[in-house]
Structure 1
Amino acid sequence: MMTLQPVAPVSLEFNAGRPEALSRWRTLVDALFPPLRVVPERGREFGGRIAAVGRSELRLTDITASPHRVERAPDRITGVARDYYKVSFQVHGQGVMRQDDRELHLAPGSIAVYDTGRPYELEFATDYRFIVAMFPKTALSLPAGIPGELTAHPLGEHQGLGAVMGSYVHGLAANPQVLLGTSGELVAQNFLDLVSAFVAEQLEVSAVGERAERTVLLLRVLRHIDQHLADPDLDPASIADAHYVSVRHLYNVFSLTGVSVSAWIKERRLLGARRELADPRMRELTVTQVATRWGFADHGYFGRQFRERFGVTPGAWSAEQQRAERAGDSHPRAVDSDTR
């Protein structure tokens, strides 16, 4: 399962006028993100500050810097570095984000979605600050390719889920240690659930044309699946009936995701069970009870599928989380380069 390496809270300042500031900035940026090219504004001394914290499913980076350009070039998109989404929240300053032949003006309150698997560019003409959340594409409750439809689209913190999500990320940036505490996984998951809901809301609002109609139906189907994961009889036929479409049409709509309906149901169940087995509030539940709660009628099948997906048995995973909780062990590291 793809993850990010944990990062203990780190805050570094790079003073303008120091000759090594830019080279040190580039080194840290390459450690925290999939490789990027940083080009400062000509004729101006570069300076800035980076504060970062993260765990396996979410990394948060608070960046303040002088004007510069950032490029995610095609020749640097390799390996797992392509398998992440980034969502940025503009705090102050002005800039432009470009991806997929679209251009987005960034101003305070702007939210931008980036796909690290495709080239993009950020250009800041003023001093700026923004907060960036980066997470594996598999961390959202949406198929990997769907959120990418929002890259470089105008999104904001002005109302609705955008305002809620903005408040949440600003709170995390002000209290980074929360992500590494005993409730850190739950905190991260709540944020990722907000991102998933926000993306789905925005896709439905902007739906136009035949493909958009299929996307809207797909989003409704995905919500239905999540609401009925505990039902062992959940299958393509019951989903099609609930949405008054044929199974064939359901398969056609699901072709947007690149996975089958049954495979998606299994993935959502396994991820839900994995979270529950790590949740301190669910310690009284046995592995068998967790399997049943997530729609697995055959508990032997659940164990085999869990081990195949995560490389560990459900019981061993639960025991590992309990040991880490007792030890207060979040395995933090200052920085890492696993995103290359």
Structure 2
Amino acid sequence: MFRSGDLPAQDRLAALDELWANDTHPMRVVSDAAEHFRATVRMLDLGAVNVVRLAVSPCEVLRTPKLIRRADPELCSVIVPLSGTLTVSQAGHDIALGAGELALYDSSQPFRIRFTAMDGATRLVRAHIPRALLRLPADGLRRLPPGPLSATAGFEGLLARLLADVTSSSTGYRPHDLPRVAVLAQELLTSTVAHHLGADGTEAPGSSRSMLLLSIETFVRQHLGDPELSPETVASAHHISIGHLHRLFRTREATVAAWIRRERLERARRDLADPTLRDVPIRLIATRWGFKDHPTFTRAFRSAYGASPTEYRHDSANVVRRSWISRPSPGFG
């Protein structure tokens, strides 16, 4: 939680700039009116989805090539203005947004976001998620059609309402709902991107290749708990050669085996973060998602998430409690 009102006026811009410059997704904040700068930042971690609700006076947020070289967690971000106006500039496109619209952008490319509400604050919600979890082609985000997307209908509308609701001070969600909200947010963001890739004609949803990939993905998710699930069993179930299967995945960011492992780990991670499953032994969660032995699961989990399953479960419980207990009242500091 950051409230500029807690700081002297001359320190407010510098404080937020330092906070974001040292983030895992470093950015800089600049303003021509530093002495009048105001901002309120509220963050909520929903598993792999990080959500921020922001109210900010006119300024610019920058992510430069130098900052990308310093650290790039390879995120897909969505930004949804709730009031006021902003412009997202990336890859030669300037996308002006107002209430009822949203835009997607990529942490691996330089960007500039200008907040321009002159009569007060721009209020918005921003969420980001590792691109690897979106199950998209490697260049999927770059192939999206430029321009604002409507936040009033379709997957985008559902996503925008979910993000606004879960970060509202009057939300009806309770702490034990948050792991399920995380799953919804991830699926809606994935669906939003995939829908517009198809609409652009880059990989038509009804094509035979797309339908085969959809069938394969559905099969894998239905059989993640089977320890014998492998590229060979997937190919056999779909009556294709192992070579054909690997060729289908060439445009993806991971091989078939790596994707299966990632899906298993992600399901296990969700279970470990779920407070309703806190009494389920970790070894049973590992078994549930197809891991044959606990040491293998522990090594793979630590490699993927930087913590052991036990540490992650403990930290997730603390995050849920802190996120809920510290939920602030509305305001703009």
TM-score by length of 1: 0.74
Query: Matched residues in 2 for 1:99 and 1:163: separation?
Result: 23
The amino acid across from 1:50 in the alignment is T
Query: Matched residues in 2 for 1:301 and 1:158: separation?
Result: 45
Query: Matched residues in 2 for 1:59 and 1:129: separation?
Result: 17
1:253 aligns with 2:253: no
Query: Matched residues in 2 for 1:134 and 1:209: separation?
Result: 24
1:38 aligns with 2:38: no
Per-residue CA distance 1:105-158 (angstroms, 9 max, x = gap) = 3121222222212111223443432211134445x3525846533485532212
1:158 aligns with 2:152: yes
SS in 1 for 2:267: helix
Query: Matched residues in 1 for 2:248 and 2:6: separation?
Result: 49
**1:190 matched residue in structure 2:** 184
**2:161 matched residue in structure 1:** 167
SS in 2 for 1:165: helix
1:266 aligns with 2:250: no
Query: Matched residues in 1 for 2:221 and 2:102: separation?
Result: 26
Contact 2:75 2:108 in 1 (8 A): yes
TM-score by length of 2: 0.75
Structure 1 position 52, deviation (Å): 1.5
SS in 1 for 2:43: strand
Give the alignment of 1:236-315 within 5 angstroms. 236-240=231-235, 245-283=240-278, 285-297=280-292, 301-306=296-301, 308-310=303-305, 314=309
SS in 2 for 1:77: helix
Query: Matched residues in 2 for 1:236 and 1:36: separation?
Result: 40
**1:337 matched residue in structure 2:** none
**1:109 matched residue in structure 2:** 100
Per-residue CA distance 1:195-226 (angstroms, 9 max, x = gap) = 22322233233333699966776455434422
Query: Matched residues in 2 for 1:301 and 1:80: separation?
Result: 29
Contact 1:142 1:222 in 2 (8 A): no
SS in 2 for 1:81: coil
**1:204 matched residue in structure 2:** 198
Say which of 41, 46, 66 aligns to 1:51: 41
Structure 1 position 313, deviation (Å): 5.5
Give the alignment of 1:221-232 within 5 angstroms. 221-232=216-227
**2:67 matched residue in structure 1:** 76
What residue ranges of structure 1 are gaps of 5+ in the alignment?
1-8, 334-340
The amino acid across from 1:200 in the alignment is A
Structure 1 position 89, deviation (Å): 0.6
Query: Matched residues in 1 for 2:70 and 2:226: separation?
Result: 37
Query: Number of residues paired by the alignment?
Result: 320
More displaced stretch, 89-98 vs 297-306:
297-306
More displaced stretch, 91-100 vs 179-188:
179-188
The amino acid across from 1:103 in the alignment is D
